[in-house]
Amino acid sequence: MFTTKVKPNTNTEINLSKYKLWKIEGDRRGDVIHCLSGKLWITQEGDMKDYILEPGGNFWVTKAGTVVLQALDNAQFKYNLNELESRIENNTQPIRNSRLSRISHHLR
């Protein structure tokens, strides 16, 4: 298993062979995993859901604690650090801000 305990670079590219595991520990809320190739299984501490990420897909870390990835195929992904000081716990993956979401927010 490849473990990242120290702070990786702001935008780190990682290759995982099929069935290999990778994890990062600590409060990494707001960090983003972007799948470049292959297929990734992702789970995070405190989240009852597991996620499958395919090429072009993004996953936002929304819980403090360990995040574990497993490559379901040979995979490559980018890990982008959240450089913001404040991290907000959220139970869902963020929705991209769009004109529609801003309009529906005003209608509530």
Statement: the pTM of the whole predicted model exceeds 0.95? no
pLDDT for residue 38 is more than 90:
yes
Is 103 or 28 the better-scoring residue by pLDDT?
28
Q: Mean pLDDT over residues 44-60, rounded?
A: 95
- Residue 94 CB neighbours (<10 A): 11
- What does the pLDDT look like over 72-99, one tens digit per residue? 999 999 999 876 544 455 555 554 444 4
Q: What is the pLDDT of residue 81?
A: 85
Domain ranges of the chain: 2-85+92-107
**Top-level class of domain 2-85+92-107:** mainly beta
The whole-angstrom distance between residue 30's C-alpha and the CA centroid of its chain comes to 8
pLDDT for residue 56 is more than 70:
yes
